[in-house]
Amino acid sequence: DAGVIQSPRHEVTEMGQEVTLRCKPISGHDYLFWYRQTMMRGLELLIYFNNNVPIDDSGMPEDRFSAKMPNASFSTLKIQPSEPRDSAVYFCASSLSGEQYFGPGTRLTVT
């Protein structure tokens, strides 16, 4: 299996622009997670889905962040408008039986 796929791997954008991060989970996995990693705050869970339905979005920092999972093989995390403090590495992970498998991450830089 190809593992969890994320795109783009790097994104540089200007403050105020919309950013969309993409994730393809491992085929057959029914849980999908979005995390954010920064030096200051470490690894934070933003939101997770089960069978394409959002279960817990309590980690989403504010209304500028939104996530969707239109089908079992695709999810997006959108930031609109982006701000410099959103600069971080965003990870997607998927799970079937408890252990989570992480993608390589998207490094977002907002200038």
Partner 1 sequence: AQSVTQLDSQVPVFEEAPVELRCNYSSSVSVYLFWYVQYPNQGLQLLLKYLSGSTLVKGINGFEAEFNKSQTSFHLRKPSVHISDTAEYFCAGTSGTYKYIFGTGTRLKVLA
Residues that bind partner 1 (CB under 8 A): 4, 31, 33, 42-43, 45, 48, 50, 56, 91, 93, 95, 98-105
- Please identify, using beta-carbon distances, which residue of 59 and 81 lies nearer to partner 1: 59
- Please identify, using beta-carbon distances, which residue of 31 and 74 lies nearer to partner 1: 31
- Please identify, using beta-carbon distances, which residue of 74 and 102 lies nearer to partner 1: 102
Q: How far is the CB of 83 from partner 1 (least distance, A)?
A: 24
Whole-angstrom Cα distance, residue 70 to residue 14? 27
Q: b or e along 1-19 (b: 16 or more beta carbons within 10 Å of the residue's beta carbon)? A: eeebebeeeebebeeeeeb
Q: How far is the CB of 37 from partner 1 (least distance, A)?
A: 9
End-to-end CA distance of the chain: 36
